[in-house]
Amino acid sequence: MHIQSFHDIKELLTALKREDKLLYEMFGKRKSLEFKLSYARELVDYDETRIDYLIEKSVLRKNGGLLEIDDLYLQFFEQVLEVNEEINLASIDGNVKSIQENIVYFLNENNEHRKQEYLREIKRTFRKIGIVTIRSVIDLRRKVDNTFKNEPNFKNKQLKLKHLDEKRVMIKKLSGQALELINDNQPVFFKTSQDEELKRVITELKIQLNESSHNLIEIEKQVINYLNQIRQQGLFLEKLRKLKYLKDHFTIEAETDIKQHLSKNNPLIFERRQSEPLNLSLDFIVNEERAFDAIKKVAAKFKARIHTIPQLAESIATDFLDNNVEQEIMINLEEVRNHFLATGDNLFRFIANYNFNKEVSFEERVTVYCQLISLYDREFEIAGEYENLNGVEYAMVYPK
Amino acid sequence: MKTKCTSEIFEILRRGRFICSNSPDDQIRMLYNVLEEGETFNELQKYFHHINYHLEHGNEYFYFTRLESNSNLDRKLNKAFGWIDLLDFLKTFDPSFDIGFRFSPSEITNQLKNNADLKNKLDNLKRIGVDKKNYSERVKKVIEQLVKDDFVALENEMNETYKVLTSFNYLKELVTAINIPEEVENEMPE
């Protein structure tokens, strides 16, 4: 594929500006390894030519259905925004070499104008060395911390820290080279140079390198400390896994001295937590205001806990309370007999005509007749004659 | 008596708890500072000795031991085994799980989703939270157990962050102290 570059900075900036939404999203997700082309289409309003344009200018790269920012741009963004993960030491090394070259050119050149150009390049590079060194040190420090805290893989954590430590050595060496260059390698150039700005730049660089070297010492301590911690953690983990293995295979008691060890002393943590069943001091309960408060509190709680709601019956309906008398006239058999005994009539006719104070049917009168005979047969004389009334045959009964 | 905190110290320690230098509880940190003073420590040690408690100074923590044990060896073994399982679980969650480490229950629960090893280990923590149906409840139970044994403490209630206390050293020292004979070690798989 033919790769085109931008014609000028204006075209580049316009292109980046136009797709700022897409680039912003992609930059934000640069760590996730997956940026789907379909999602990118959404961000350019489904105008795929816009994506194609960036790919053509190699700002983006297409990889199957995924899209990523080209390394060149990614590095640029990261470095400018100071979020780069990689510590690039090659640039320091390159800068030192470039200074050396430029010094040689400077010394060889007779044309004052070109000499100045070389000098300008030298100063620019010196400034760059200072900035890059400081930046590398800061990055290194952050990276060491991050690796120790966030790297989940144990072995990789150890390896990464070792590699970061190597980087630290490299930075130290490179800043040493830069100092050596200033102090020893080109005495003629630095001694003879009358340029005030160069002197200032070099002083500043020396301050920066000095600061870096202090930081590097700190980082070294930190790395050693972290590595030690990791080593100890590693040893501990190994031991723990072994004990776990023995425990899970039920051989831990037989194979290790765990029993002896545990019987050696008696920390309370092994014991069941006991509450003390102590009785309260009677003096305390009787005399102390505090005790009384407590009792009141407990009593309130106690009451609240047992809800003794008395069971209430429903109210009695008022009509139950009204006097409700039902009257019934009963036949007083005794009185009937007395009346009968006073007459000379026969019983049946007497009862058939008797005034009972209420209406009594013939059948009932027959029943009364029978009841009287069975109750008072001794006071009556039952004759052997019979008469007939309303189809009822009855014996003639008289008072004795 | 040099200190007014004797009863407070006693109340904590006699429950089998620890007084840790990095406790999120200001009061306990204060007690630690009181105990750390050599003279006070010696005096209290002597004092508690009379009632059969031995005040011990561990690595950044204090605790009680007893001259005569109230717990038998089986109970101790069981407890120690439980701790080994627990430690194994926690170290699988994060190998840097150690003093000062901060974590939240949701972090553990989240990792359960993509860490089968961790999940398996949680399933095998037999005594803790088996009655709970979902993992987040079980994780909570595990943490409750740790809190109860005083190895971690709630540091931030709002975002449920727990902190590993210095008493964790006790567990580590226990593990380190157990000796595995070399020939046994050699027989074990990597």
Tens digits of residue pLDDT in B62-120: 999 987 776 788 888 888 999 999 999 999 998 888 888 999 999 999 999 888 999 88
Is residue A13's pLDDT more than 70? yes
A266 contact residues in B (CB cutoff 8 A): 65-71
Q: B60 and B29, same structural domain?
A: yes
* CB proximity A254 to B under 8 Å: no
Q: A100 and A226, same structural domain?
A: yes
Out of A252, A259, A267, the one facing B63 most closely (by C-beta) is A267
Boundary residue ending a domain (B66, B83, B104): B66
B91 and A237: CB-CB below 8 Å?
yes
State the nearest Cα–Cα gap between B158 and chain A, in angstroms.
23
Number of independent structural domains in chain B: 2
Q: A95 and A240, same structural domain?
A: yes
Question: What 3-state class would DSSP assign to A85?
Answer: coil
pLDDT at A84: 66
State the nearest Cα–Cα gap between B97 and chain A, in angstroms.
9
Count the neighbouring beta carbons within 10 Å of the beta carbon of residue A333.
Answer: 13
Boundary residue ending a domain (B32, B66, B100): B66
Q: B32 and B81, same structural domain?
A: no
Question: What 3-state class would DSSP assign to B150?
Answer: coil
- Within-domain flag for B98: yes
- Within-domain flag for A308: no
Q: B92 and B165, same structural domain?
A: yes
A257 contact residues in B (CB cutoff 8 A): 178-179
State the nearest Cα–Cα gap between B80 and chain A, in angstroms.
9
| Region for A36 from its dihedrals, namely left if φ exceeds 0, alpha if ψ lies in -120 to 50, beta otherwise | beta
The tokens for A78 are 């990261």
Question: What 3-state class would DSSP assign to A195?
Answer: coil
DSSP assignment, residue A383? E
Instruction: Starting at the earlier edge strand, list the strands of the sheet with B161-164.
Output: B102-103, B161-164, B152-156
- Within-domain flag for B1: no
pLDDT at A62: 83
Q: Which residue of B has its CA nearest to A149?
A: B96
**Which CATH number is A64's domain given?**
1.10.10
Q: Choosing among B96, B149, B168, which should be mutated to test the A contact, i.e. which has the most A CBs within 10 A? A: B96
Q: Mean of the pLDDT values across residues A309-333?
A: 77
Residues 181-240, chain A: which have Cβ within 8 Å of B?
233, 236-237, 239-240
Q: A156 and A14, same structural domain?
A: no
Q: B62 and B78, same structural domain?
A: no
- Within-domain flag for A287: no
Q: A133 and A14, same structural domain?
A: no
B14 contact residues in A (CB cutoff 8 A): 268
Each residue's pLDDT tens digit, A31-52: 776 788 888 888 888 888 888 8
Q: How far apart are CA B162 and CA B142, in angstroms?
A: 12
B71 and A241: CB-CB below 8 Å?
no
**Which pLDDT band, with edges at 50, 70 and 90, does A1 fall under?**
very low
**Which pLDDT band, with edges at 50, 70 and 90, does B162 fall under?**
very high
- Within-domain flag for B46: yes
Q: Which residues contact B75 (CB under 8 A, 6 or more apart)?
A: A270, A272
Q: B51 and B102, same structural domain?
A: no
- Within-domain flag for A378: yes
Q: How far is CA A378 from the centre of its chain?
A: 106
Number of independent structural domains in chain A: 3
Out of B13, B84, B149, the one facing A247 most closely (by C-beta) is B84
- Within-domain flag for B185: no
State the nearest Cα–Cα gap between B125 and chain A, in angstroms.
12
Q: B89 and B59, same structural domain?
A: no
Q: B110 and B166, same structural domain?
A: yes
Out of B16, B73, B179, the one facing A256 most closely (by C-beta) is B179
Is residue A174's pLDDT more than 70? yes
- Within-domain flag for B106: yes
Boundary residue ending a domain (A62, A81, A100): A81
Q: Which residues contact B130 (CB under 8 A, 6 or more apart)?
A: B138
CA triple B65-B66-B71, angle to 5 deg = 100
The ipTM assigned to this model is 0.83
Out of B14, B69, B149, the one facing A266 most closely (by C-beta) is B69
Each residue's pLDDT tens digit, A49-89: 888 888 888 888 887 778 888 888 888 888 777 666 666 77
Q: A94 and A68, same structural domain?
A: no
Q: Which residue of A has its CA nearest to B184?
A: A255
Is residue A258's pLDDT more than 60? yes
Q: A389 and A345, same structural domain?
A: yes
Distances in whole angstroms, Cα of residue B95 to Cα of each of A149, A230, A235, B61, B147: 10, 9, 11, 22, 20
E strands present in A262-347: 266-267
Q: Where in the sequence is the domain holding A33, given as residue range(s)?
A: 9-81
Boundary residue ending a domain (B47, B66, B85): B66
- Within-domain flag for A380: yes
Q: Where in the sequence is the domain holding B145, given as residue range(s)?
A: 73-177
Q: How far is CA A30 from the centre of its chain?
A: 28
- Within-domain flag for A293: no
B95 and A239: CB-CB below 8 Å?
no
Q: A157 and A72, same structural domain?
A: no
Q: Which residue of A has its CA nearest to B57?
A: A267
CB A380 within 8 A of CB A347: yes
Q: A132 and A175, same structural domain?
A: yes
- Within-domain flag for A286: no
Q: A168 and A50, same structural domain?
A: no
- Within-domain flag for A282: no
Q: What does DSSP say about strands B152-156 and B161-164: parallel, antiparallel, or unpaired?
A: antiparallel
Q: B147 and B56, same structural domain?
A: no
- Within-domain flag for B57: yes
Q: A76 and A136, same structural domain?
A: no
- Within-domain flag for B113: yes
Average pLDDT, chain A: 83
Boundary residue ending a domain (A81, A103, A124): A81
Q: Which residue of B has its CA nearest to A245?
A: B188
Question: What 3-state class would DSSP assign to A75?
Answer: helix
- Please tell me which of A142-151, A185-194, B13-22 the model is most confident about, judged by mean pLDDT: B13-22
pLDDT at A3: 62
Q: A70 and A135, same structural domain?
A: no
State the nearest Cα–Cα gap between B71 and chain A, in angstroms.
5
Is residue A154's pLDDT more than 50? yes
Q: B58 and B107, same structural domain?
A: no
Q: A26 and A143, same structural domain?
A: no
* CB proximity A268 to B under 8 Å: yes
pLDDT at A112: 87
DSSP assignment, residue A46? T
CB B151 within 8 A of CB B169: no
CB B67 within 8 A of CB B54: yes
**Which CATH number is B101's domain given?**
1.10.10
Q: B78 and B10, same structural domain?
A: no
Q: B172 and B100, same structural domain?
A: yes
Q: Choosing among A244, A268, A276, which should be mutated to test the B contact, i.e. which has the most B CBs within 10 A? A: A268
Q: B58 and B78, same structural domain?
A: no
Comparing B63 with A285, the larger pLDDT belongs to B63
Boundary residue ending a domain (A81, A101, A127): A81
| Beta-bridge mates of residue B65 | A267, B54
B149 contact residues in A (CB cutoff 8 A): 269
- Within-domain flag for B183: no
Is residue B10's pLDDT more than 80? yes
